[in-house]
């Protein structure tokens, strides 16, 4: 299924073009600006944003300035062949008009329109962290495919997704954009999302080019602070952070985006080992690299380049092909070639890679690929909404359910508290640029549509303080109280790191008031990252982790609340018991003194060492029992069997998880690693034997660097533990020895 970007015919067409293009035109292909903003202000847009955040201008003043601004789509530059791609521009009419300008350039090379289509375009699916928890690869694929259909109808050719960064620190706001803390799951997510976006025929007009980002280790940002440094061993880089990228490449991903951060002192944007040695020489990547926004220029801030020109030189020589936003390439490459500091062959190579994708997409032969009619017909189609609902239902995690709080019993008086319950727009979550907030269904709207009697209050007064009286009165009249709380959509995603992971104090006060009322309560959480819920857990009877579930949020939640749908999702990032545990992840390496009762073990004096909820955890309205775990080695693979039984009274779906541990190896190994999973549907009382085949090679790792000059991937014989369960903590275990043939 993987796309091959190199074809003999297209390479010949590229040869012919390169022979005709001037150096300036070639450099134009490597340039991706956004539209420039012209008009109202004398400072740059970034400075203006800073002024707004620093409070130097009010929101109102900012909006006023923005409303008098016009977009300049760089008509003259486009006609002169000085632009290769645009960022963040969509809409059939606008895109086609700009494309007509490109067709007036000497070689008529169309522009590639890229955009962040992360979890949907107009129809928005759950944030990736949530969707990953469905443990359904086919769902990952379908959501990406439908997003591609909408985005392509709006003129978008290329998305900067999937984000395949392994993220183990919930303080990092971008944990919301990926599959969570596990490398294997992130790899499965990468493969299916890439396949969904790109389809089997990238030129069919309904699919878009994908971009695996951020290459690499961006999720390892020190202290969970966005854009922060990462200092890791090559082994950890290769075992934890790189596999999802390699998997995406094997699945045929067309582009990669190097990360903002440095790795052990070398920013990814100028990292030759990463961008050329690993990516091209080892993995044979055929597509092209787009820098992250302004990242080449930021190499000056990193202190790795003296100035923008030096940054351009280092980046292009490291293997970067296209410059997003900074214009370092556009302003400096010609001079660098003239000075002999960059060979024209380097430029040709980058341009070849970019043109390769334009040809493969069919863009050169059919530059105008959509129109307003198609665009209008495609947005928010019923089947997209149906998928958005299914995806949300399969992403919402039941974290706690006691005192028969859920599903809601009929005939009870329902109270709903919290602004988030009535705000459809907030359901979009981070990175939903094209998303239609008005089309989003809030919980309140969905309850109304379901003709479920209830009373809603925001729980806040006009000044934002808690409306204690209103809450007490409402609780007095209700049998069961639903409280919606968590994070606004801006509180996760890029540049949204947090040092505290608790609910906001007012939301906690609301929960305390509800608890005081003695009424049954359900916490509906909306958030883009694991939160610390240690206190909340004691305050409510049930917790439904809804994440930011997208367009069909309310409908999906109501289906779960009423029991029409049985929750089946699991969390894919550990929920810390205290923020001081971060980073926390189930697959940490073994220590010499594992946490235990003794003083001198690896733990804290003041907080627990275990997370509140471990990776893979999630409840259901039914229960499952695991039995008869067996393992043997056949054909160089672990052959594993386990029987899973639905022991409750409802049909349900369970994500069965298989973990392995290399008990003793020449390098310290993780205590457990997810190596396979399967979602299985079981009727009440039904049981099924599941079989898994995991090649022994999957347990390979990188040798100790201190001994060999370069770590090499090895597989060692010896004792292995096999675990099976419904989460990473509560598992059955068996042992098996592997002796190399
Ligand atoms: C910066 C982000 O890091 C990246 O993920 C995104 O694709 C670009 N900006 C473009 O918006």
CB atoms under 10 Å from CB of 296, counted, come to 29
Stronger pLDDT, 44 or 385, i.e. the higher one = 385
CA–CA separation, 337 vs 299, rounded Å?
Answer: 20
Which residue in 334, 212, 349, 328 sits closest to 274, CA to CA?
A: 212
Q: State pLDDT tens for residues 447-504.
A: 999 999 999 999 999 999 999 999 999 999 999 999 999 999 999 999 999 999 999 9
Q: State pLDDT tens for residues 411-441.
A: 999 999 999 999 999 999 999 989 999 999 9
> pLDDT-based confidence at 47, cuts 50/70/90?
confident
The backbone torsions φ and ψ at residue 498, rounded to the nearest 5 degrees and listed phi first, read -130, 145
pLDDT at position 497: 98
Q: State pLDDT tens for residues 107-155.
A: 999 999 999 999 999 999 999 999 999 999 999 999 999 999 999 999 9
Percentage above 70 pLDDT, the chain: 98
Q: How far, in Å, is the centroid of ligand 1 from the Cα of 597? A: 45
> pLDDT-based confidence at 49, cuts 50/70/90?
confident
Q: Is the pLDDT of residue 568 over 70?
A: yes
Residue 607 preceded by cis peptide, ω within 30 = no
Cβ–ligand 1 contact at 213 (below 6 Å): yes
pTM: 0.96
Average pLDDT over the chain reads 96
Cα 8 to chain centroid distance, Å, stands at 35
- Catalytic residue, chosen from 262, 292, 321, 436, is 292
Q: State pLDDT tens for residues 445-458.
A: 999 999 999 999 99
CA–CA separation, 383 vs 551, rounded Å?
Answer: 13
Stronger pLDDT, 739 or 35, i.e. the higher one = 739
Strands 158-159 and 112-115: parallel
pLDDT at position 710: 77
Q: State pLDDT tens for residues 583-610.
A: 999 999 999 999 999 999 999 999 999 9
CB 691 within 8 A of CB 639: yes
Q: How far, in Å, is the centroid of ligand 1 from the Cα of 219? A: 14
Mean pLDDT of 252-267: 98
Q: Is the pLDDT of residue 288 over 90?
A: yes
> pLDDT-based confidence at 709, cuts 50/70/90?
low
CA–CA separation, 720 vs 680, rounded Å?
Answer: 26
Q: State pLDDT tens for residues 305-338.
A: 999 999 999 999 999 999 999 999 999 999 999 9
Which residue in 221, 105, 77, 211 sits closest to 151, CA to CA?
A: 211
Mean pLDDT of 510-531: 98
Q: How far, in Å, is the centroid of ligand 1 from the Cα of 293? A: 6
User: Is 182 one of the annotated active-site residues of the chain?
Assistant: no
Q: Is the pLDDT of residue 42 over 80?
A: no
Ligand 1 pocket test target in 33, 116, 214 with most atoms within 8 Å of CB? 116
Cβ–ligand 1 contact at 160 (below 6 Å): yes
The helix/strand/coil state of 732 is strand
* C-alpha dihedral, 733 to 660 to 181 to 129, nearest 10°: -70
Q: Is the pLDDT of residue 707 over 50?
A: no
Q: What is the DSSP string of 585-637?
A: -TTPBP-SS-S-SSTTSS--SSS-SS-SB-TT--B-SS-EEEEEEEEEEETTE
**Residue ID of nearest Cα to ligand 1 atom 7:** 160
**Residue ID of nearest Cα to ligand 1 atom 4:** 292
Ligand 1 pocket test target in 324, 492, 496 with most atoms within 8 Å of CB? 324
Domains of the chain: 387-581 (3.40.50.1700), 624-738 (2.60.40.10)
CA–CA separation, 155 vs 572, rounded Å?
Answer: 33
**Residue ID of nearest Cα to ligand 1 atom 9:** 293
The backbone torsions φ and ψ at residue 419, rounded to the nearest 5 degrees and listed phi first, read -65, -35
Q: State pLDDT tens for residues 620-629.
A: 999 999 999 9
């Amino acid at each position: 299924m993987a796309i091959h970007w190199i074809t003999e015919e297209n390479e010949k067409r590229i040869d012919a073009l390169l022979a005709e293009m001037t150096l300036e035109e070639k450099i134009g292909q490597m340039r991706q600006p956004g539209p420039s903003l012209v008009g109202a202000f004398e400072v740059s847009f970034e400075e203006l944003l800073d002024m707004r955040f620093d409070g130097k201008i009010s929101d109102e003043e900012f909006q006023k300035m923005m409303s008098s601004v016009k977009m300049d789509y760089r008509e003259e530059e486009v006609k002169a062949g000085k632009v290769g791609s645009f960022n963040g521009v969509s809409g059939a009419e606008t895109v086609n008009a700009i494309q007509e300008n490109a067709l007036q350039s000497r070689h008529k090379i169309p522009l590639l329109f890229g955009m962040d289509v992360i979890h949907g375009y107009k129809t928005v699916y759950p944030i990736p962290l949530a969707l990953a928890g469905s443990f359904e690869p086919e769902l990952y694929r379908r959501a990406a495919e439908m997003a591609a259909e909408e985005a392509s109808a709006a003129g978008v050719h290329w998305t900067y997704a999937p984000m395949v960064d392994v993220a183990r620190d919930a303080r990092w706001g971008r944990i919301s954009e990926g599959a969570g803390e596990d490398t294997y799951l992130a790899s499965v997510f990468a493969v299916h999302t890439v396949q969904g976006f790109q389809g089997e025929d990238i030129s069919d007009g309904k699919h878009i080019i994908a971009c695996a980002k951020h290459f690499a280790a961006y999720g390892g940002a020190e202290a969970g602070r966005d854009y922060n440094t990462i200092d890791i061993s090559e082994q950890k880089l290769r075992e934890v952070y790189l596999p999802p990228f390699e998997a995406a490449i094997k699945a045929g991903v067309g582009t990669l985006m190097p990360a903002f951060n440095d790795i052990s002192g070398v920013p990814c944007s100028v990292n030759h080992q990463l961008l050329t040695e690993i990516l091209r020489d080892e993995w044979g990547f055929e597509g092209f690299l787009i820098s992250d926004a302004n990242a080449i220029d930021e190499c000056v801030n990193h202190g790795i380049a003296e100035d923008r020109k030096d940054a351009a030189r280092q980046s292009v020589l490291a293997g970067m092909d296209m410059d997003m936003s900074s214009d370092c390439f556009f302003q400096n490459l010609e001079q660098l070639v003239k000075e002999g500091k960059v060979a024209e062959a380097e430029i040709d190579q980058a341009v070849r890679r970019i043109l390769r994708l334009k040809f493969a997409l069919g863009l050169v032969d059919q530059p105008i690929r959509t129109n307003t009619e198609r665009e209008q017909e495609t947005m928010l189609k019923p089947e997209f909404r149906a998928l958005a609902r299914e995806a949300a239902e399969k992403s919402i995690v039941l974290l706690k359910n006691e005192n028969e709080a859920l599903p809601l019993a009929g005939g009870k008086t329902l109270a709903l508290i919290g602004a988030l319950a009535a705000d459809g727009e907030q359901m979009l979550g981070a990175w939903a640029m094209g998303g239609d907030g008005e089309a989003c269904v809030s919980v309140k709207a969905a309850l109304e549509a379901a003709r479920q009697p209830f009373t809603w209050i925001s729980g806040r007064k006009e000044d934002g303080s808690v409306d204690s009286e209103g809450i007490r009165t409402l609780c007095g009249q209700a049998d069961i109280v639903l409280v919606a709380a968590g994070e606004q959509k801006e509180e996760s995603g890029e540049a949204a790191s947090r040092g505290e992971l608790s609910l906001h104090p007012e939301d906690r006060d609301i929960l305390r008031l509800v608890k005081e009322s003695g009424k049954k309560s359900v916490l509906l959480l909306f958030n883009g990252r694991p939160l610390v819920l240690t206190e909340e857990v004691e305050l409510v009877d049930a917790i439904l982790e809804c994440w930011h579930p997208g367009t069909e949020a309310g409908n999906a939640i109501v289906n779960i609340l009423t029991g029409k749908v049985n929750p089946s999702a699991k969390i894919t990032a550990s929920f810390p018991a205290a923020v001081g545990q971060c980073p926390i992840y189930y697959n940490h390496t073994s220590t010499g003194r594992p946490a235990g009762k003794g003083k001198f073990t690896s733990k804290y004096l003041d907080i627990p060492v275990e997370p509140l909820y471990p990776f893979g955890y999630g409840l259901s309205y039914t229960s499952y029992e695991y039995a008869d775990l067996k393992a043997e080695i056949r054909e160089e693979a672990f052959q594993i069997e386990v029987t899973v039984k639905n022991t409750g009274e409802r049909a349900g779906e369970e994500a069965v998880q298989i973990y392995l541990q290399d008990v003793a190896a020449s390098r310290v190994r993780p205590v457990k690693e997810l190596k396979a999973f399967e979602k299985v549907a079981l009727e009440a009382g039904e049981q099924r034997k599941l079989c898994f085949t995991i090649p022994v090679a999957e347990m390979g790792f990188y040798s100790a660097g201190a001994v060999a000059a370069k770590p090499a991937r090895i597989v060692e014989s010896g004792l292995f533990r096999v675990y099976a369960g419904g989460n990473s903590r509560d598992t059955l275990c068996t042992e098996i020895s592997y002796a190399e043939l």
